[in-house]
Amino acid sequence: MELNETKFKNIITKIEKGSIAEELEIKPGDILVSINNEKIEDIIEYKYLCCDEYIEMEILTKENELILFEIEKEIDEDIGIEFENPIIDSVKSCRNKCVFCFIDQLPQGMRDTLYFKDDDSRLSFLQGNFITMTNMGEKEIEKMIRYKISPVNISIHTTDSDLRIKMLGNRFAGNILENMTKLAKAEITMNGQIVLVKNLNDEENLEKTINDLKTLHPYLNSVAVVPIGITKYRENLYPVEIFDKESSIAVINQIHKLQEALLKELGTRFVFLSDEFYMMAGYEMPEENEYEGFVQLENGVGLTKKLEIEFLESINDIQNKKISRQISIATGTSAFNFISEISEKLCKVVEGLQVKVYKIKNEFFGETITVSGLITGSDIINQLKDQDLGDILLIPRSMMKADEDIFLDNITIKDLEKALNVEVQISEIDGKSFVKNVVGI
């Protein structure tokens, strides 16, 4: 049998020490051909087929020798193999042309990876990404059901077929409720997301969508409603409006009314608003119990309240502490008031602590973008270069690329420190880390 890397994508790159694979002398460069006589197309199949106590694994070595390993192990015990591609097969890209797509609103000249749109059910299961299900045929849905791919996160936006086709710019987008019903019948756990677009899928359509989706509970565990994000780079794109204070208040009132009815009917509020709506409305965040365990944090639902709770718990440990420390904090416009408030509380309980919070306006994407996670290094430099930043400049982890300390505009932490002549520290997005980094303990 010839070694053909174009035919087999399951190239092994790493063997974990002390693993079954190491004991069997499987090596990097070998290729996984099959498990239990089934070809492996992706990581989901691999993980599923490896769960049994007894498996037969076919490996093609670098020396072109085909070996069949008979493996007895504990249920769910890992084999200890890592592959060249983390999901083995290539990532499925998004075929939609959504009216609210943020990637379509990016300027030219950024990192190539920022322009890639994924819509892959495997990444939903492995990494929590949201999928639209528009590129999934019956085969893919049957595979999700067979391998119990759960939980899965789904971008819904509306259950109106014609409107969803329009919003996603895809003629195959209209059967979302039908597809989700299939998953619910197979007892696949789902979480949903609705990107709300003013005068498009809001008001009556939003209420209809929620009422349609509640029929899928409990397998559809929760639905998050987030506002559309609009940059200044929308030339030749679908005309949309941003939510303002008045329209945000209307959305809050509508959802709170629905939550009351859903709580009585289902025993859960089921649908939750992202923090941005409350910030735009100038409202206090809901109480902790109203978030029901913070099930939609990845959509910014309850992130502020959770951070506040953690903050208040953490400051109890530093009462009457005395230090000499002057720091600055950079944050987005939406979080500015909240960060300022908790910083002020911290200064009252820590003698000698001075904190200055800076509101960074998003000039790179446009001032309609207010979240900290989309602040660029160049905007921080331009707006803070003439300021006395004290001993340290603190920035939230959300401003950084997921796997390295670099901003969206490719500016590094070292670049920022050099430009501002100050030490820069990154704080994780939780109240305990915030207190620890601000106080320096």
Domain boundary among 298, 319, 352: 298
Q: Are residues 291 and 317 in the same domain?
A: no
User: How much is the pLDDT for 383?
Assistant: 98
List pLDDT tens digits, range 110-138: 766 665 554 444 444 444 478 888 877 78
Domain assignment of residue 378, given as a range: 308-439
User: How much is the pLDDT for 113?
Assistant: 62
User: How much is the pLDDT for 46?
Assistant: 81
3-state secondary structure at position 14: strand
User: How much is the pLDDT for 108?
Assistant: 76
Domain boundary among 272, 298, 324: 298
Q: Are residues 262 and 342 in the same domain?
A: no
Q: Please provide the DSSP assignment of 147-169 as one string.
A: TT--SEEEE-S-S-HHHHHHHHT
What total number of domains does the chain contain? 3
Q: Identify whether 342 is part of a domain.
A: yes
For residue 151, whether the previous peptide bond is cis, meaning omega lies within 30 degrees of 0, is yes
User: How much is the pLDDT for 178?
Assistant: 95
- Other Cβ atoms within 10 Å of 98 Cβ, number: 24
Q: Indicate which CATH number applies to the domain containing 19.
A: 2.30.42.10
Q: Are residues 359 and 335 in the same domain?
A: yes
Q: Are residues 138 and 268 in the same domain?
A: yes
The pTM (predicted TM-score) of the whole model is: 0.81
Terminal CA-CA length for the chain: 61
Q: Identify whether 79 is part of a domain.
A: yes
User: How much is the pLDDT for 316?
Assistant: 81
- Which residues of the chain are under the pLDDT cut of 70? 1-9, 85-94, 111-128
Q: Which two tokens stand for residue 87?
A: 């999901």
Q: Identify whether 4 is part of a domain.
A: no
Domain boundary among 51, 83, 115: 83
Q: Identify whether 153 is part of a domain.
A: yes
Q: Which two tokens stand for residue 304?
A: 């502020």
Q: Are residues 254 and 341 in the same domain?
A: no
List pLDDT tens digits, range 204-215: 999 999 999 999
